[in-house]
Structure 1
Amino acid sequence: MKMISVCACPTGIAHTYMAQAALEKAAMTRGHDIKIETQGAMGIENELSMQDVAEANVVIFAVGVNVEGEERFHGKPSIMVEVGKAIENPVAVIEKAEKKGEEV
């Protein structure tokens, strides 16, 4: 399954990147392709392209703030989780995304 994600925490430093790393590892362990955009103190990094969005089965928002450019994802199956949940239990987040992505 192709997954994309946006990770962003209120300060945009440590938790953003911790969530990114945790979700990447969990997705790869379960055999999924994942690309993650981070939004934080350094601005937008690894910005998702329109092609990334079009090809994705599901979007994971692991955020604690508003997502910049959220309109790019309208119409895509998505889940929203707190950044801390993505860090603490990334496998559960990926499993939730799998279910959402399979609904379509």
Structure 2
Amino acid sequence: MNIVAITACTVGVAHTYIAQDRLIEAAKKRGHSIYVETQGTIGSENVLRAEDIKNADVVIFAADVAVSKEERFEGKLIVRVKSEVAIKQPDKLLEKIEQKMKEIK
């Protein structure tokens, strides 16, 4: 599965990067490709390329604040969770997404 994600927390620092790391770790462990953009007080980092978004099967917003430039993901399956979910239960989150993808296909 091709995943793109955006992580963002209210302060824009710690949880943003922890969520990024946990999602990447869980996705790779499950055999998925993933690209994660972080959005925070220092701006956006690892900004997703249009090609990555186009090829994505699913978009994860692990964010506690509004995601900027959300219109880039129009027409994509978007899963919205708090950053805490990506930090504490990334495997369970991806398992639920995998199940959802099976139901769609």
TM-score range, shorter chain: over 0.9
SS class of match (2:86)? helix
Structure 1 equivalent of residue 58 of structure 2? 58
In the aligned structure 2, how far is the partner of 1:28 from the partner of 1:99?
Answer: 17
Q: Please list every run of 5 or more consecutive structure 2 residues that lacks an aligned counterpart in the other structure.
A: none
- Post-superposition Cα deviations, 1:4-56, rounded to whole Å, max 9, x if no partner, equal 00000011000000000000000000000000000002200000011111000
Letter in 2 for 1:11: V
Which residues in structure 2 correspond to 1:75-90 (within 5 Å)? 75-90=75-90
Alignment coverage as a number of residue pairs = 104
For the 8 Å contact 1:77–1:101, the answer to whether it is kept is no
- Post-superposition Cα deviations, 1:54-98, rounded to whole Å, max 9, x if no partner, equal 000000110000000000001101110100011011101111222
Give the ranges of 4+ consecutive aligned residues of structure 1 lying more than 6 Å apart after TM superposition.
none
Aligned CA-pair RMSD: 1.1
Q: TM-score, normalised by structure 1?
A: 0.95
Instruction: Indicate whether 1:31 and 2:40 are aligned.
Output: no
Structure 2 equivalent of residue 73 of structure 1? 73
